[in-house]
Amino acid sequence: TIASGVALDLGTTTLNASGDILNEGLITSSTGALLSHPIDYIRFSDSAGDLASSFTDSDDLYITVKDQGRNLDGAVAETMFITATSTVPAGADSEVLTLTETAPSSGIFRNISALPVHTASVVTTGNGTFEVMADGQGRTTYIDAFDPADSLSTSVDLVGETIGAPPSDPPSPPI
């Protein structure tokens, strides 16, 4: 626990931490210092951070990361970047999201603005919309910028429709 108003200077030391880190103060370091703490989780989620098992047209996609080792300033909601990608069958989209700490010192990061999911016949990467051409997987990998050996990946089902498929014929009326 690092209390509010207290600073912990790592200098050039590696601090290996396990369990919960409660940082309401400030962690500083010099070149070569490392705060090593395992990532708790990364997941595709809803706006509340609850696990999502799939996304389809008109859904809002969120990514939630819990990494208490990224909470260096307990008085500020910090940010990080993460890329969401889709597999080739789904359209091979790629969108960069800004994740913001849900509260100062929480160590939980989520995109504040939803990434809208839409069915599309053409995918444009980097346009702020996760475009899905057909069923596939959404994927993301989080690599801790302060401890690159610390990383986790996750995936989610993307349920799209095959664009341009002919509509099915209506059933024939009974004779």
Per-residue pLDDT of the chain (175 residues; tens, 9 = 90+): 788 888 888 888 778 788 788 888 888 877 777 777 888 999 999 999 999 999 999 999 999 999 988 888 889 999 999 999 999 888 899 999 999 999 999 999 999 999 999 999 899 999 999 999 999 999 999 998 888 888 999 999 999 864 444 444 445 556 6
Under 8 Å CB-to-CB from 163, ≥6 apart: which residues? 119, 120, 121, 133, 134
Residue 173 DSSP symbol: P
d(CA 129, CA 126): 8
CB count within 10 Å of CB 113 equals: 11
d(CA 31, CA 35): 12
pTM, two decimal places? 0.83
Three-state secondary structure call for residue 157: strand
